[in-house]
Chains A and B, each alone.
Chain A
């Protein structure tokens, strides 16, 4: 049975990838239990606010250059559209100077719409998006409200698409449908796949890089092999996306983000996926380049490239090692991105003392796809203090307090202050591309030093900040997972 199904929606991760939100143990045990399919996506008795699929879907849809997005939702769901717009402008200008602003309209669902339906309103918003933005495609993002009232997005999309003469595609990202926000990535990719056409020609020197709207750190790396970087989907055009089937191979900044689309692309269009972890840390960057070289006929030059890159960064790595070797670092991030960040640390003899993944997929979408947790253990040995929870600072604050690391690396907003409150400096990994490749590793070393060097501010904050937790929770409860449910 194929991975891609010709249905409006892709199956949520808890059923497709047997993902979990609760775990407390070590890396090897997590691998073993995942392989034995023992993980269950339990429900906590108590918890703190999570994120939703829509928030993840929009990290792709809002950044497609000539596409518009209609949020079929109450106005609160578009709370991120301005920050995404700032990101869009900032990154697009730094990438190639061509400004991209988000093109987003909310249907602003009201109470009466939940009673009588809002199909006409949605149709009107789609036509209004056409008038305001003249896009080449429109994505309709669903919401909890439009999902529960059972709005028929398929037929509205199909009618308006005929009317406008370009694709109008629903993205099913209702928050309540999946407990894993990462399902929203799959929802967006599933919608994008409805745009993709069979290859007109094969471009042997083009590599699709699935990622977020971030710095251009992949093309300096791939250009050394004489290859071109095709970033998907942020800052690609609708036309670019139609033809991603023409690339030599697919890779990604994070396996958690895009193994769904890369698995489908391999199956449906024969575009192979680079069988290596994403290029974070020197060892994985080497491995990644070698695998790409295999798929693009660059095997003859790849070893020279790797050798000269190692030589180039060696002095800086050595200098930084003297400053930060032996420091103890804790990582909080999305599943596979934890492994990416964790794998950089050994380059400076910095110790990964544990990490919390915001969820964990028991297996990738397709047999044979890389499992980066296994790669992490292969290259770094078993990691202790491995937990899974979706943000939940009430738990993290206890874990971090007990481990008392020198530094915390965190990719998600609002979680960082669990560490800040304890006076522990943090590195915020907002730009997913920032630490990739050889230069990314060097940058990470510099940032670790800088964060520890300037920790006076967090120490000052920790002296004056109030914790929202009871003494019972902070001092008497031993197990941070005591509220883990069934």
Chain B
């Protein structure tokens, strides 16, 4: 990992406010300097394909806008006033106090302020998310943990058979999270499970979070994000969990995912096989239908694959593009800065996907260095596709290559229900991988390679 960061791919821990906003009914209260919350919104709210302000996000977020006075005299009083005001003005089922650099450096006890209000009976928790303490993924974890520890608390689980909690993609930071979670929920429901998806419009919101301890088991569908939460839930409520580190994209991996869950939960195997058969048929209808296109446009199509994304998206998408679509992996750059402990597992998972992947993986948070490396590897090629952010879109333009959106920041696309997950995610990715040839240079036609 490099020390400096050019072309950042994540925000700071305060991005946890977006995790709060992804829970229907939850509202952030921010104790930070005046621009912090707005920048978090700019990066992960607008910068995730214009996903809007949810209900109480963006400029609606309550904030102390800490100034010199707070830095000199402390800001706890200001925070208490803010919380008091927010509880009067803002409608919400759960409030989460998050902090910024100023309050954490000067040592305000913001969590205690939240706890004092909670003792009066208000639904409120607090966590420290100063920018220097960590990145968006850290902030996501802090928020999740604070809600579990302070809001759900030490309850005795009333386990319901077939109920699962899903810990997977990071809201907003994984730009297709709405479509992804909706797809995961739908797949699991088709297996006969009841699903607490926890984030997004198809979640039951705060009441669903209260239901977390009652799950029969938890599913961590991610290489590392969510693992600590699952461990916490195991300690706290004795809920077992299964980790599936590869986000399933396309028919093969989705079938494997469904079989694993079926096996683990002791579900009806025959029913699962029928589901796989039915969904695969639809998926392969899409895949096979592009046969003529692929062979007639072969000289226009990208073949060399570069992926710049967090570990969850990078592994899932690379798996599909290499193993089902036959792309040649050139450079896979993982940007979410997992700890050393997780890196080894991520490497093992990644290299087990295909022998083609040898030496293609890099952990790098500095987008400037990623692009230097890609340029070196390209060696003048114009047959590459970059799956990445706005930064890679421009790199594709500047080098005459192809491009598809996969990671933040994304300010040149509107994202609604797109997903990379499951049979649907695979089908959508086929379009994303090939459509870019029509936006490149003079466009593409089958009878002539325009980019010679």
Partners in one complex: yes
Complex Cα spacing A77 to B15, Å: 11
B131 in the interface (beta carbon within 8 A): yes
A52 in the interface (beta carbon within 8 A): yes
- Complex contact A108–B4 (CB within 8 A): yes
| Residues of B close to A50: CB separation below 8 A | 34-35, 38, 63, 65
Additional 6 contacts, C-beta under 8 A, given A176-B102, A470-B91: A76-B39, A113-B132, A124-B3, A176-B67, A414-B53, A468-B60
15 A-B contacts (beta carbon < 8 Å): A52-B38, A76-B15, A76-B39, A77-B35, A79-B42, A79-B44, A83-B42, A83-B47, A106-B5, A107-B4, A108-B365, A145-B130, A145-B131, A176-B102, A392-B59
Complex Cα spacing A73 to B11, Å: 12
- Complex contact A121–B59 (CB within 8 A): no
Q: Which of A45, A110, A414 contacts B132 (CB 8 A)?
A: A110
- Complex contact B35–A51 (CB within 8 A): yes
> Which among A45, A76, A108 has the greatest number of chain B C-beta atoms within 10 A?
A76
Q: Quick one: CB contact mask for A440-481 with B, threshold 8 Å, 1 for yes?
A: 000000000000000000000000001111111100000000
- Complex contact B38–A109 (CB within 8 A): no
Complex Cα spacing A108 to B67, Å: 22
- Complex contact B8–A52 (CB within 8 A): no
> Which among B6, B90, B130 has the greatest number of chain A C-beta atoms within 10 A?
B6
Binds A, one of B285-293, B294-302, B388-396: B388-396
- Complex contact B394–A144 (CB within 8 A): no
Complex Cα spacing A74 to B4, Å: 10
- Complex contact A145–B101 (CB within 8 A): yes
Nearest residue (CB) in B for A145 is: B101
Q: Which of A45, A148, A468, A470 contacts B105 (CB 8 A)?
A: A148
Interfacial residues of chain A within 76-108, with CB under 8 A of chain B in the complex: 76-83, 85-86, 89, 101, 104-108
Q: Quick one: CB contact mask for B85-111 with A, threshold 8 Å, 1 for yes?
A: 110111110000000111001100000
A232 in the interface (beta carbon within 8 A): no
- Complex contact A106–B4 (CB within 8 A): yes
Interface size class of B (residues with CB under 8 A): 35 or more
Complex Cα spacing A82 to B175, Å: 15
> Which among A55, A75, A148, A470 has the greatest number of chain B C-beta atoms within 10 A?
A75
Q: Which of A47, A468, A470 contacts B63 (CB 8 A)?
A: A47
User: B-contacting residues of A (Cβ < 8 Å)?
Assistant: 43, 45-55, 73-83, 85-86, 89, 101, 104-111, 113-114, 121, 124-125, 128, 132, 143-145, 148-149, 174-179, 181, 391-394, 413-415, 417-418, 466-473, 483
- Complex contact A111–B133 (CB within 8 A): yes
> Which among B53, B132, B412 has the greatest number of chain A C-beta atoms within 10 A?
B132
| Residues of B close to A48: CB separation below 8 A | 59-63
User: A-contacting residues of B (Cβ < 8 Å)?
Assistant: 3-8, 10-15, 27, 30, 33-44, 46-47, 52-53, 55-56, 58-71, 78, 81-82, 84-86, 88-92, 100-102, 105-106, 130-133, 135, 365, 368, 389-391, 394, 409, 411-412
Nearest residue (CB) in B for A174 is: B33
- Complex contact A469–B411 (CB within 8 A): no
| Residues of B close to A83: CB separation below 8 A | 42, 46-47, 409, 411
Distance between B8 CB and nearest chain A CB, rounded to angstroms:
5
Distance between B366 CB and nearest chain A CB, rounded to angstroms:
8
- Complex contact A46–B412 (CB within 8 A): no
- Complex contact B33–A52 (CB within 8 A): yes
Complex Cα spacing A108 to B69, Å: 26
- Complex contact B35–A472 (CB within 8 A): no
- Complex contact B7–A393 (CB within 8 A): no
| Residues of A close to B68: CB separation below 8 A | 176-177
